[in-house]
């Protein structure tokens, strides 16, 4: 638990876009609560707020410039949708303050509206997305096979941001690395190819859940 209120501030529109886009790759299977939501963190020595989500088949990560640092904050899926509704109703102009309080409340406040969620213990274990991103972005050389529905998610994000979509890949066994502008990146896991095309099916599990540096408890992060 943090011993004092920590706050970060960024433009309302930037946060609304971040949360909207990362919800597109959030898990929805309630038997896997560690991926049903969006993880917020402010990395060391960088003045940005980062939002990350995954459904095991796609990963999305967006960031925006911010002022101030907060302990890592987990926003469950239902709460994230509610926050978007409240923020949209208040308008997307001005700034948004995100505050993490000692009593585990997280508040999202603009000039016109406010929403509060309550944490129930430590953030859930989260997949090692940093390692996956680094591996997926290295040495893009080969083709792979993708689910078009997954690719469309990123196409929709690029369209909403008014940006082009860049695709990098290594081989059919590795995730495909997606970049959209300079504030969004994602991964798409390859799908099983027909035997007549690809031989052995690709296998690339997300990995065993572990406590990602961006998912420590508030006590550890304080």
Residue whose C-alpha is closest to residue 18's, from 42, 38, 43, 46: 38
Dihedral sign for Cα atoms in the order 156, 26, 184, 127: negative
Range 96-119 burial, b when 16+ CB lie within 10 A, else e: bbbbbbeeeebebbbeebebebeb
pLDDT number for residue 12? 97
pLDDT number for residue 214? 42
pLDDT number for residue 191? 84
pLDDT number for residue 205? 29
Beta bridge partners, 221, equal none
pLDDT number for residue 123? 63
> What does the pLDDT look like over 127-149, one tens digit per residue?
777 777 777 766 655 667 888 89
pLDDT number for residue 141? 59
pLDDT number for residue 139? 62
Rg of the chain taking only CA atoms, in angstroms: 18
pLDDT number for residue 137? 67
Beta bridge partners, 8, equal 98
pLDDT number for residue 199? 44
pLDDT number for residue 208? 28
Residue whose C-alpha is closest to residue 114's, from 205, 12, 214, 199: 12
CA 211 to chain centre: 15
Structure tokens that stand for 97 in this block = 């303050």
Which helix (H) or strand (E) segment holds residue 54: the answer is strand 48-54
Task: Report, as ranges of residue numbers, the positions in the chain whose pLDDT lies below 50.
Answer: 198-222
Instruction: Quote the pTM value.
Output: 0.71
């Amino acid at each position: 638990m943090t011993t004092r209120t920590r706050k970060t501030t960024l433009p309302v529109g930037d946060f609304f876009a971040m949360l909207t886009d990362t919800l597109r790759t959030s898990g929805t299977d309630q038997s896997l609560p560690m991926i049903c939501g969006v993880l917020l963190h402010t990395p060391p020595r960088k003045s940005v707020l980062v939002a990350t989500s995954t459904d095991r088949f796609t990963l999305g990560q967006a960031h925006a410039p911010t002022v101030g640092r907060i302990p890592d904050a987990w926003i469950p899926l239902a709460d994230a949708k509610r926050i978007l509704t409240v923020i949209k109703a208040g308008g997307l102009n001005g700034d948004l303050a995100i505050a993490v309080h000692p009593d585990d409340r997280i508040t999202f406040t603009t000039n016109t509206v406010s929403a509060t969620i309550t944490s129930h213990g430590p953030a859930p274990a989260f997949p090692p997305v940093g390692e996956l991103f680094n591996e997926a972005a290295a040495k893009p050389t080969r083709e792979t096979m993708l689910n078009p529905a997954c690719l469309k998610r990123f196409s929709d994000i690029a369209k909403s941001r008014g940006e082009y979509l860049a695709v990098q890949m290594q081989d059919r066994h590795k995730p495909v690395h997606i970049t959209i502008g300079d504030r969004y990146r994602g991964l798409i896991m390859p799908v099983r190819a027909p035997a007549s095309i690809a031989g052995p099916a690709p296998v690339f599990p997300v990995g065993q859940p572990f406590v990602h540096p961006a998912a420590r408890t508030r006590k550890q992060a304080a």
